[in-house]
Chains A and B, each alone.
Chain A
Amino acid sequence: MSATPMSTALADPRDRGGPAQPMLIARGLRRYFRLKGRGQAVRAVDDVSFTVFKGETLGVVGESGCGKSTLARLLLHLLVPQAGEMVFDGDLVGAARGIGIAALRQQVQMVFQDSAASLNPRMPVRDSIAFGPLAAGQSRAAARQTAEALLQQVGLRPDLFGPRYPHELSGGQKQRVNIARALALGPRMVILDEAVSALDKSVEAQVLNLLRDLKRRLNLTYLFISHDLNVVRYISERVLVMYLGQVVELGPATAVFAAPRHPYTRALLASRLSMDADRRTLEPPLQGDPPSPIDAPSGCRFRTRCPCAEAVCASRAPPLGHWEDRASHIAACHMATQGSGHTLAGAG
């Protein structure tokens, strides 16, 4: 096979800062959606900061309305953040001396949940994959060759599947095509927004294996957004937990799953089903639905559902604290902060 855009093995010339420099730093990202005629706003993403290290998979978990998908769109500037900044491999995104949006999108690509809606129904999938390289200036023949190499990489025979239209493929095959298309420009980072959630379990396993294999071979960095904690635990090195537009916990996956520090994370983990009919959950860990992000509670946003809420939780929002390195495990909870005024502060 001739040179494909994925020959980006170890020494990637685009890797400027070396392995120690984070792939992406997000600081204070904010995006509100104003509601017409009501003077209110949905605070979809509210002061979110985090870091994605090179070569890792950062899992993002949270329930519907917590801002996961808005966050993904902000990172690619599909939605423009109203506040905050991003640094991609040392370059400030959108700044005069930094990296432009178009250049960012060549290096960061996205795979969406709805595999059918993300593909053009009137285009053979081979052409959908070749579209990006063509737009980026490759010749028609080279773009076609890139597309066929990519189909091979995601486990679809190019001669068999390349000429097919999306409706001629199963859900899992369509999602493989979407992954191939995301890789067509040779990105260094891929954002996977609920990319396996709509698939059958056995197909989900196949696609997860493929994602892990591609990450190894192409030296990729993943931001993996999902509501499925089992999947996130399996694929992520670090995990970020969101609740109503804010980060409530961030840390290595093993630490977060073994010893969650935020009561919301604890409840989320306890809500997982056991797969054991002899050990059924008798009491739901949380009551009610997540509140609307339109009028989020004051102070800590989780306090209305938290079993440990006290007066301090209503009056002051708990800070997330500062991360130092990949091993940092931090939580935005007054109980996790000594001297916060919560009676259980520092207890666990």
Chain B
Amino acid sequence: MDGGQDRGPPLLEVADLTVRFVGHEARVQALAGVSFSLRAGEVLCLLGESGSGKSVTLRALMQLLPPGRTEVAGQVRLAGQDVLALRGRALQAFRGGSVAMVFQEPMSALDPVYTIGQHLIEAIRQHRGGSRAAARARAIGLLELVKIPAAARRIDAYPHELSGGLRQRAMIALALSCTPRLLLADEPTTALDATVQIQVLILLRRLQQEFGMGTLFVTHDLAVAAEIADRVAVMYAGRIVEEGPVAAVLRAPAHPYTAALLASTVHDQAPDQDIPTIPGSPPDLGALPPGCSFAPRCALVRDACRIGPPPATHPAPGRMVRCLRSADVLATPLASLATGDYR
């Protein structure tokens, strides 16, 4: 799918994933044909702003979207298994067993009336069986693995008794408790303080390598992606508009949206200059334009962009972009992209 990378079969293959939310008066196209693949031991960052579809993608993979009000189409295969067809016990074993998820807000993801230990022990026994004592010993081991100090004591703490950083570590321990093959992380460090965020990112990076998990990491923050991703997939209005190795994409973006996002991120800009911004706002997902979704805001737009969704092209090995003018974006140095001066 993405330009001839064939180092073994992928762990996760997503093809043409489409999600529609069906309401009383409107149908909202949250995902419009998302395709990507992920190998074991690889970190793919889904990068995008609110409403781009990054969290919906994760929830669709876990089958967490409300069934009556969503239409999910497309294919999701994890190690050959058809994920969207899973039901009942098989789905239960899949969630938490093969795939685990770390959420942004550990306080609302953990149950406030159970201790950290009870969370862990329940998950371990559910998926692996064994005695309570053995599960507890494994739970303490997991808390030590995520570097929670005094793990043997903290295991009996309730979520509210831990600081934000420790709670997020406990969530990670819970996610790892059944050695999943795929880790889904939804903005796991966004709510953390700067000095804690970097600790958790480094921890996740280390554990992901140790366990050899494939990781799908959702973030809105380019800097977080630069810190943890192998590859990034930039999402806009329910589509992946650009994908490639993180360093290459951040150094030389091929899609005007990626370039604009990079330019508008506050990072060492001169204090006496305005920050370049993207004019307008994201499209209404209930009424997407027929052509490229970014066309109404794009500085490089041409008539052809408004006719149909641009096809995927591969400007370099391992890179994909959906833009008719990607060659012009790639040919423009970042400095002049930042001033909006393309031509």
Contact = CB atoms under 8 A, between A and B. Distances in A.
Interface string A57-93: 0000001100000000000000000000000000000
B227 A274 contact: yes
Given A209-B277, A230-B267, A277-B229, A201 B224 contact: no
A233 interface: yes
Question: Which of B163, B222, B275 has most A Cβ within 10 Å?
Answer: B275
Contacts of A64: 164, 193
A205 B275 contact: yes
Interface string B161-188: 0011110000000000000000000000
Contacts of B252: none
A124 interface: no
A40 interface: no
A277 B250 contact: yes
A268 B194 contact: yes
B194 A229 contact: yes
A63 B197 CA distance: 11
Interface in B184-237: 193-199, 201-202, 220-224, 226-227, 229
Interface residues of A, number: 46
B149 A202 contact: no
For the complex of A and B, 7 pairs with smallest distance between CB atoms: A273-B223, A63-B193, A205-B264, A277-B247, A200-B49, A205-B275, A289-B163
Contacts of B264: 201-202, 204-205
Given A63-B194, A209-B275, 16 more contacts: A202-B278, A204-B264, A205-B266, A208-B266, A230-B266, A234-B266, A234-B271, A268-B194, A271-B198, A272-B194, A273-B198, A277-B226, A277-B227, A278-B247, A288-B165, A289-B196
Interface of B: 49-50, 149, 163-166, 193-199, 201-202, 220-224, 226-227, 229, 246-247, 250, 260-261, 264-269, 271, 274-278, 281
Contacts of B265: 201, 205, 275
Interface stretch (A26-34, A114-122, A279-287): A279-287
Contacts of A47: none
Contacts of B50: 171, 200
B236 to A, nearest CB: 11
A238 to B, nearest CB: 12
A271 B197 contact: yes
Contacts of A227: 193-194
B226 to A, nearest CB: 5
B136 to A, nearest CB: 25
19 contacts: A63-B194, A200-B49, A201-B265, A202-B277, A204-B266, A205-B264, A205-B277, A208-B275, A229-B194, A235-B271, A268-B194, A271-B194, A272-B194, A273-B227, A276-B226, A284-B198, A286-B199, A288-B149, A292-B163
Contacts of A201: 49, 220-222, 261, 264-266
B49 A202 contact: yes
A290 interface: yes
A115 B63 CA distance: 31
Contact of A275 (B166, B196, B201, B223): B223
A212 interface: yes
Contact of B246 (A231, A277, A292): A277
Contact of A209 (B202, B229, B268, B274): B274
